[in-house]
Amino acid sequence: MREYAADPPVEETVGDALRDAGHTVATAESCTGGLIGSLLTDVPGSSDYFDRSYVTYTYDAKLDHGVTREALDEHGAVSEPVARQMARGVRDRAGATWGVATTGIAGPDGGTDEKPVGTVYVGLAHAGDWGSQDSYATVVHREFDGDRLAVKEQIARAALTRLETELENIT
């Protein structure tokens, strides 16, 4: 799982940034199946900033972790509203500074013309200080090429890179 890794890999640099900021992160992963959490915990000392990871692969699992039935019905699991709700839900359930969520189609099957294999929505939710009204959630849509494992790695690394960029913007 290092084909798409930078040197140093993003799981190390984002970990350093989280630690330096005194922030924590939790993940809700669908298409990545826990890979983001795995990458984060590959780094010694990650318990300083990594709280937990939920693998919410099915509709029922997403419902159990804060995604509304209406969002799933109206938009489908692979969508911006679902990624946003997943990120907010994991952030709030964990009491973490950051929630990171992925929902997409890793392949080789399951794609459509509208949502081809490699489609992903990465949700990122930040918890501002109480009363500051600085909490927010964003979602980016991306498409990746490759086989299932390549797509999953690219998604996981893109999600961590997105987190690192947001950390740089607020600290």
Report the CATH number at residue 148: 3.90.950.20
In a domain, 164, yes or no: yes
What confidence score (pLDDT) does residue 56 get? 96
In a domain, 5, yes or no: no
Give the domain range for residue 151.
10-170
Class of residue 168 by CB neighbours under 10 A (exposed 0-12, middle 13-18, buried 19+): exposed
In a domain, 2, yes or no: no
Nearest to 139 by CA among 77, 61, 97, 85: 85
In a domain, 3, yes or no: no
What confidence score (pLDDT) does residue 5 get? 72
What confidence score (pLDDT) does residue 1 get? 59
What confidence score (pLDDT) does residue 131 get? 94
In a domain, 1, yes or no: no
Q: Which amino acid is at 94?
A: A
What confidence score (pLDDT) does residue 6 get? 73
Class of residue 38 by CB neighbours under 10 A (exposed 0-12, middle 13-18, buried 19+): middle
In a domain, 85, yes or no: yes
Is beta strand 25-29 parallel, antiparallel or unpaired with respect to 98-104? parallel
In a domain, 133, yes or no: yes
Number of domains in the chain: 1
Q: Which amino acid is at 59?
A: Y
Mean pLDDT by 10 residues, the chain (171 residues): 78 97 98 97 97 97 95 97 98 98 95 92 96 96 96 97 94 70
* The token pair that represents 39 in the structure block: 């990458």
What confidence score (pLDDT) does residue 170 get? 86
Q: Residue 96 phi/psi, 5° resolution?
A: -90, 160
In a domain, 25, yes or no: yes
| Length of the chain as a residue count | 171
What confidence score (pLDDT) does residue 7 get? 81
Q: Is the pTM of this model over 0.75?
A: yes
